[in-house]
Structures are given as C-alpha cells and as structure tokens.
Amino acid sequence: MKKFLHRLLIFALLIAAYKFVRKQVLRRRWQPHYDDYVPHKADPDWDFHPRDDDTSSEATPVDEVLQTPPDDLTLIKGIGPSFQEALNAAGIFTYAELASQDADALAILLPERITSHRIRREAWIEQARELLQKQSDESEQE
C-alpha cells in the first residue's frame, strides 16, 4: 500500500509539472527573442551600399511592392483594429502577405495574446487566401 501511494504521488507530480510546462509554452515565455538574431545588429561592419551603376528609372519589383496599398485586414473575421496594427507592426499589410504565413511563425511575430491556436481556430490565413482570390477575380474582370 505504501508503494502504491508513493507511485500515485509521483504520478500526480508529473501531471502537475506537465500542465505547468505546457501552460508556459502556450504563453510563449520560453521562446527566443528573434530581435536578438538580426545580423546587422550583431555585425558592426555591416553596411548597405547602393550600386553606383544603377541609374535606371524603371520600377523594380521592390518598388512595386512598396507602392502596393495596404489591404483592410479587419475584413477577416477575428481581426480588429488593434490586431491589424499588430500585423502591420510585424510587416504584414496585404492579404497576400498574410496568406503566405504559417500560423506558428505568425504567432511568434505577434503579441503574446495572439496564439497560433487562435489563428488556426479563426482561420485567418484561409480567410486571407479567400479575400486574395476575390481580389484577383475582380481585377481579372476589369
């Protein structure tokens, strides 16, 4: 009987430890801070030098992307104005950018209250793909 109670206590402690660790991981307290891994912050010799021979006035793909107007991300169910601001702060302004994301990677970029589970449950990425498809269908009709 004594061994049984001892094993039961150990089992209960293991379950409690598992629940604690799972809660911490879901709260993302143990994930690394990705801002620390940006190469130009760590390398003092890093510098951007534009090419001198590039005098063309034609628009490059980067210029086209920068000129693309941002989409209204609040049309996606589950994204309000504050979540749109968080997405914009993470560099996501269009449906195409949101549709190309992975839920886990996106949750790392966003504040702690936005989890990958929530992104999957509310189907943000799928809704962005649908809205992107609607946009492309409308542009083809014009």
pLDDT of residue 61: 58
Residue 14: exposed, middle, or buried by beta-carbon count in 10 A (0-12, 13-18, 19+)?
Answer: exposed
Q: Which domains does the chain have, with CATH numbers?
A: 70-142 (1.10.150.20)
Backbone angles phi, psi at 73, to 5 degrees: -70, -10
For 28, other C-beta atoms within 10 Å of its C-beta total 15
Q: Do 101 and 129 meet the contact criterion of CB atoms below 8 Å apart?
A: no
Cβ contact 50:62 at 8 Å: no
Q: For position 37, what pLDDT does the model report? A: 46
- pLDDT by 10s per residue, the chain, length 142: 888 888 888 999 989 888 887 776 666 555 555 444 444 444 555 454 555 555 555 555 555 555 678 889 999 999 999 999 888 888 889 999 999 999 888 888 888 888 889 999 999 999 999 999 998 888 888 7
Please tell me the predicted confidence (pLDDT) of residue 41: 45
Q: Give the pLDDT confidence score for residue 122 in this predicted structure.
A: 93
Please give the Cα distance from 130 to 60 (Å, whole number): 28
- Answering whether pTM is above 0.85, one says no
Reported as half-sphere exposure (CB side, CA atoms, 13 A), residue 62 has a value of: 0
- Work out the number of other CB atoms within 10 angstroms of the CB of residue 75: 13
